[in-house]
Amino acid sequence: MKFKAMTAIAGLLIAAGPMAFAGGADDDTLIINGEIEMISKTAAPAHLDGVFDEIVSGWHFRTDETQALETDDFDNPAMLFVDQAIDAYDVVEGEAGESCASCHEGVENFAGLSAAMPKVDADGKLVVMEDLINECRTERMQADEWKWSGNDMQSMVALISLQSRGMPMDVAIDGAAAPYWEQGKEMYYTRYGQLELSCANCHEQNYGNYIRADHLSQGQTNGFPTYRLKQAKLISKHNRFRGCIRDTRAETFAEGSDEFRALELYVASRGNGLSVETPAVRQ
């Protein structure tokens, strides 16, 4: 492994007792269903010059048993929820008498969309997948909004993102997206909370090291929503952002806040080039 500079966290870890540095990402290859070969390690995008040489999917930081859960669509428990979304896709809801399928026809028409999300919409506003789904629900279907991290919403985000599985992440960071991207980058390097930790402290300076018994990854979002064994359900990006910031003992931003949209764009751009892995399985 590359030995990185010790930060406050690494100092804490050492204070907690001797521990083995088990090293960074493993060298396994991520192939799904024995046929879809994923780009799970690749050269870092240009904007990360001087930060990373290589970007690495969180899959490489997990144990063999957790990794195996993602390599077969039947073993992957997230697919239970994808199945539920396949059913929901055809369900007519709301005053307008429409389902997702009424306008969009087959869900495969969404291929490529999530690889380019978040994006700036025609009104100049940064939108993420949950925004697109809720806009369809409220405006076109005249149905109720779905709760951001609710099972309905995250199952549908997973189903739509699955259509892009294997495609490289490619979010735009220039043009109209630039100010949002800058805002997200600023947040990424801001130390939050009583522990004064930024995203970068763990996921840039210490990936491959341990935080207690957790193996820190680069914090890539290319596999979200991800089935987390801890909660045994699909977890949204914003839920995870909130968890991280809360763990710094800070007041966190809300799921669906503009701050988290901007952070989502910036973090997604750090994974530009990695395959969309949705729905991933993590610890």
Partner 1 sequence: MHFTRRETLAMGAGAALLTVLPFRANAAVDDLIAEFTGGAELADAGVDLTAPEIAENGNTVPIEVSAPGATAIMVLAAGNPTPPVATFNFGHLAASQSASTRIRLAGTQDVIAVAQLADGSFARESKTVKVTIGGCGG
Partner 2 sequence: MASGVKPRVKVPGKASAGEAVTIKTLISHPMESGQRKDSSGNTIPRSIINRFTCDFNGENVVDVTMEPAISTNPYFQFEATVPETGDFKFTWYDDDGSVYEETKSVTVA
Contacts with partner 2, residue ranges (CB under 8 A): 74-75, 77, 79-81, 83-84, 151, 232-233
CB nearer to partner 1: pick between 62 and 185: 62
Q: Which two tokens stand for residue 130?
A: 């949950």
* Interacting residues of 194 by C-beta distance below 8 A, sequence separation 6+: 248, 249, 250
Residues 185-214 contacting partner 1, CB under 8 A = 210-214
In terms of CB distance, is 146 or 241 closer to partner 1?
241
254 binds partner 1 (CB under 8 A): no
CA separation (Å) from 186 to 15, 33, 265?
A: 30, 39, 12
Burial label for 254, CB within 10 Å (0-12, 13-18, 19+), is exposed
DSSP 20: -
Nearest residue to 94 (alpha-carbon basis) of 47, 20, 144: 144
199 in active site: no
In whole angstroms, the minimum distance from the beta carbon of 105 to partner 1 comes to 36
Shortest approach of partner 1 to residue 214 CB, angstroms? 4
In the bound complex, what is the minimum distance in angstroms from residue 202's beta carbon to partner 1? Answer: 8
Q: Is 63 in the site for partner 1 (CB under 8 A)?
A: yes
Asked if 239 and 140 touch (Cβ cutoff 8 Å), the reply is no
Minimal distance in Å, beta carbon 108 to partner 1?
30
| Contacted entry of partner 2, partner 1, none for residue 89, CB cut-off 5 to 8 Å set by kind | none
Cα separation values, 212 from 13, 17, 62, 200, 239, Å: 6, 10, 15, 17, 21
Helix (H, G, I), strand (E, B) or coil at 275: strand
- Closer to partner 2 by CB, 222 or 278: give it: 278
Question: Do residues 219 and 58 lie in contact, with contact meaning Cβ atoms separated by under 8 Å?
Answer: yes
Stretch of 52-60, 119-127, 164-172, 241-249 lying at the interface with partner 1 (CB under 8 A): 241-249
Residue from 246, 249, 254, 258 touching partner 1 (CB under 8 A): that is 246
66 binds, among partner 2, partner 1, none (CB under 5 to 8 A by kind): partner 1
2 near partner 1, judged by CB under 8 A: no
Q: Which residues bind partner 1 (CB under 8 A)?
A: 62-66, 68-69, 77, 210-214, 216, 229-230, 232, 243-244, 246-247, 283
Active site members: 244
